[in-house]
Chains A and B, each alone.
Chain A
Amino acid sequence: MDKRSYNYIGKNIIRCDAADKVQGRFLYLSDEPFPNALVGVILMSPHANATVRSIDVSEAIGIEGVEILTYLDIPSVKYNSGEWFPGQEDFPDETILTGHARHVGDRIALVMAETEEKARKARDLVRVEYEIMPAVTVLETAADMAGTLHEDGEKSFEGSLCYGDIDQAFSAAAYIESDTIATPKVHHAAMETHSVLAIPRPGNVIEVRTPCQITFGVQHSIAQVLKIPLSKIRVIKANMGGTFGGKQEVVFEVLCAWAANKLKRPVFINTTREETILSTRTRAAVKGKVETAVDAEGLILGRRFELTVDAGAYLTGTKKLMIAMGKKASRLYRIPALSYTGSVVRTSTTPAGACRGYGSPQIHTITEIHTDLMCRRLGFDPVGFRLKNLLKEFEEDLSGGANIGKARVIECLKRGAESFGWEENITPKVSRGRFFTGIGFACCTHGNGYYKTKYHDFSNMSLKILEDGSAILRASIHELGSGATTALAQIVGEVTGIDVSKITVTETDTQFTSYDSGCQASRVIYVCGECARLVSEAAVKMLTQEASKLLDKPVRFSQGSLVCEGKRLEIGGTVREIMKKRRVSIEANFEHRPEMNPASFGVHFAEVTVDKLTGLVKINRYLAVHDIGQAINESFVRGQIYGGIQMGIGMALCEELPYDSNGMPKARNFDKYHLINAPDMPDSEIILIEDGEPGGPFGAKSIGEISTVPVSAAIVNAVNRALGSSLTDLPLTPAKIVEAVADLKK
């Protein structure tokens, strides 16, 4: 089909929930109190590593209507919050409440009352005596101190990935260059804080409503701890006020379901910003060394990584994340030999977990800063060096991962460099002796699902065409705010010819929607979107066949219409006749199992001005170029990119969750945790390269996660070029910049 003739694909259809949202009528979990629910707040540890010596709830429980459950009441089952399917064997080290607090914010007890205010007052009356132990806050010594934090005897969790002859590569190298780089622990900062509601229902069913990303994963975690069948747990995705991975792992869901089940009453757990910062998940901090062997012409011969990843207090999905980082290392440049070793350690800090990009921002920040510094030291042109080594279309991933697909990263770099005026602006400028302006860029890649990884990836949907010609796509989608439901409606509309305004796309409800691997791994457009396209085709096929039988004449479907003997048939009327006369409803089901997992690519460019005196960085210009196959809704794509840039700038310059040596968090709210606001944001340019990716719906592939991946490195590279510095410890706070400037003078 010719692109220009699309009705909906690539069009800026207005998202289906926009009107409700601008009117303040789109309600989140905490906006709708549930009748007769107990509101729960968590008694959190004020210490980083401490065991509870005694807990006295007598005064609090004396208040009428107050219920308290403590670590003494819980099932002893340990679980891993990053495990989303039975048998994934993620190391379990977490319980729903604990008598050994392993970070400030760890869950000791759940205090409930009919109002949140009352629950908070009661919580203040619970007396806990702690035995305080040394905090584990330093990555380098965390493995040796593991025993004070966990009794399971695991010092660290190792992983490695190797291919090619790495020793040969390094011994043949003309140059060997290495850098040590650190990326920060970051708060997701979804504007909606964490909350969850659990309701005991007849038939021993527990209903859990949660703004989450993997309902079937939540169901699994609850089943595992409560030891009840999956069929008795109904997880409904609630309206989502942002997640960015922060609501991907289970956090309070299991605790809430357990409490509701135990008390046989609905329980709603709510958190403040401070509680969300201290007690949920973060982006994992990573620190380590990357080393590259290069030949005299600037071809990469091999690369070594030795990285330490900070899981925080519990392992969570951080081992998965560490492995994922390694797997991403071979999907951007052609690296003939690779050795990746990762070590995950636990520290007495807020647990890490999934965060937009799932390791990609960390690994590509590390390699892209390193690549720039290496090019500077060796005198290579950073654009030319990358062009020589970037993967070309349909190259194999040498680590054995899925084929790279229709890679357009070289086009991204070339077009970006030209449009940004790379050549013309390469020399840093100085004004008034203190303002240094420089440019930088970074390349990156990210995936499109789980195909050819350890994890299963498929989606099952049905499309029902109703008797008035409207349609319902029954899909296990999690709308996170990115517009996925509207984008899927556009796909259905394109295939069926049904007006988008008459299409409803459901979100996931484990009792009524079919299996889907969840909103993770950047799989929604590529996998779920393709499933929506295929199920739409199946429904159209069924409709034409049934119409042919009804009329006893050949019926075709062409350009969005049913046609019989040259005449257009109205869809609604035809469906009605089929239902009445043939007693058949038009509902098709399809299970899509992708056989490809191509890479998406992006190259971002930044121009910054650094004030040497204050250490402040201003971003003057920004350009994002993305290889996205095909935009389903261009405005949504742009929205993802702008948002990704906001997060990435934060990680580069100001966002971090620091702790003192006692494990006390220094940032507990947005006064000390700085997010990029409107005046700090540049007006970014965006270039989309749309060459159609095989296997994606109308050629579309992922954008939401990858849009944040190259940002931090592009900015750090610009700062380093402006100053001539070699800053590698993120974020580049004013203090670090001022210090670097002072060092450069020496």
Chain B
Amino acid sequence: MNEGSNGNKELTMIVGVIFLKIELKVNGKLRRAEVEASERLIDLLRQKLGLVSVKEGCGAGECGACTVLMDGEAVCSCVVPAFQTDGHDILTVDGLEENGELDVIQQSFIDCDAVQCGFCTPGMIMSAKALLIKNPSPSREEIRTALAGNICRCTGYTQIINAVETAAERIGECRR
């Protein structure tokens, strides 16, 4: 959290509901929003900013379908209060493409057939992204651990783990 940023924030009150004006970066762009104190980050992203790639599978921080990156860390957007993102940097799967090219993780998910119904996929990719930012050459076990909070009912994870491994290899090849 950037210290006390809400301290001097404007508060508006409409029929008893307190709205906080926040400013955050979403997929590289500065966005302003008015959020209720109880509003969840997932609602801000899906409903106000139209980023419906962020999925809700449980609403309780248990499935990872809603995973986004907050300052590079994977968080469950269904348990993060929206106002806490004031002054922070949010990345969703929509922000991964660069110059019309898929992120290496996205491409690896396609190539390794790591996608079935696709509902867990955006969250899964964001957890993988957070891992590879910190650790570009993880072991299979490290990949498993990084994906521990993301449930997939379709794939049994194997092809997803293969995809993250492949993405790491490809990143490694580029660096070489």
Contact = CB atoms under 8 A, between A and B. Distances in A.
Interface in A6-42: 12, 14-15, 17-28, 30-32
Interface stretch (B2-10, B18-26, B80-88, B103-111): B103-111
Interface stretch (A70-78, A567-575, A672-680): A672-680
Interface string B35-67: 000000000001000011111111110110100
Given A240-B117, A670-B58, A681 B156 contact: yes
Interface string B101-126: 01000110111010111111110010
Contact of B151 (A27, A191, A483): A191
B93 interface: yes
A191 B117 contact: yes
Given A482-B116, A678-B144, A643 B57 contact: no
A273 to B, nearest CB: 4
Interface stretch (A105-113, A362-370, A468-476, A634-642): A634-642
B155 A639 contact: yes
B57 A192 contact: yes
B158 A21 contact: no
Nearest to A243: B117
Contacts of A12: 113
A647 B113 contact: no
B160 A678 contact: yes
Contacts of A31: 46, 52
Contacts of A641: 156
Given A12-B113, A22-B110, A22-B115, A190 B156 contact: no
Interface string B130-168: 000000000011011101111111111111110000000
B148 A191 contact: no
Contacts of B56: 30, 193
Interface string A624-663: 0000000000011011011111110000000000000000
A482 B115 CA distance: 9
Contacts of B71: none
B151 A683 contact: no
Nearest to A21: B118
B121 to A, nearest CB: 5
Nearest to B146: A678
B92 interface: yes
Contact of B60 (A19, A24, A27, A669): A669
A412 interface: no
B140 A683 contact: yes
A23 B153 contact: no
B113 A646 contact: no
Contacts of B51: 24
A645 B153 CA distance: 10
Q: How large is the interface on A (under 10, 10 to 19, 20 to 34, 35 or more residues)?
A: 35 or more
A12 B145 CA distance: 28
B93 A242 contact: no
A272 B94 contact: no
A694 interface: no
Q: How large is the interface on B (under 10, 10 to 19, 20 to 34, 35 or more residues)?
A: 35 or more
B111 A677 contact: no
A671 interface: yes
Contacts of A678: 143-145, 147-148, 150, 157, 160-161
Contacts of A548: none
Interface string A253-280: 0000000000000000000110000000
B113 A24 contact: no
A684 interface: yes
B119 A241 contact: yes
A22 B109 contact: yes
A28 B118 CA distance: 10
Contacts of B143: 678
Nearest to B118: A21
Contact of A22 (B52, B59, B106): B106
A25 B122 CA distance: 10
B113 A639 contact: yes
A485 B51 CA distance: 27
B63 A18 contact: no
A186 to B, nearest CB: 12
Contacts of B62: 669-671
A643 B109 contact: no
Contacts of A642: 155-159
Nearest to B53: A24
A724 interface: no
Contact of A191 (B102, B113, B120, B141): B120
Contacts of B157: 642, 646, 677-678, 681
B153 A244 contact: yes
Interface of B: 46, 51-60, 62-63, 65, 92-94, 97, 102, 106-107, 109-111, 113, 115-122, 125, 140-141, 143-145, 147-161
9 contacts: A15-B115, A22-B102, A24-B93, A31-B52, A241-B119, A638-B158, A642-B155, A642-B157, A643-B153
Given A482-B154, A645-B156, A679-B148, 16 more contacts: A12-B113, A14-B113, A15-B113, A18-B109, A22-B109, A30-B56, A191-B57, A191-B152, A192-B117, A242-B119, A242-B154, A273-B59, A273-B60, A481-B117, A644-B156, A647-B153
The 5 closest A-B pairs by CB, nearest first: A24-B53, A481-B117, A642-B156, A21-B118, A241-B119
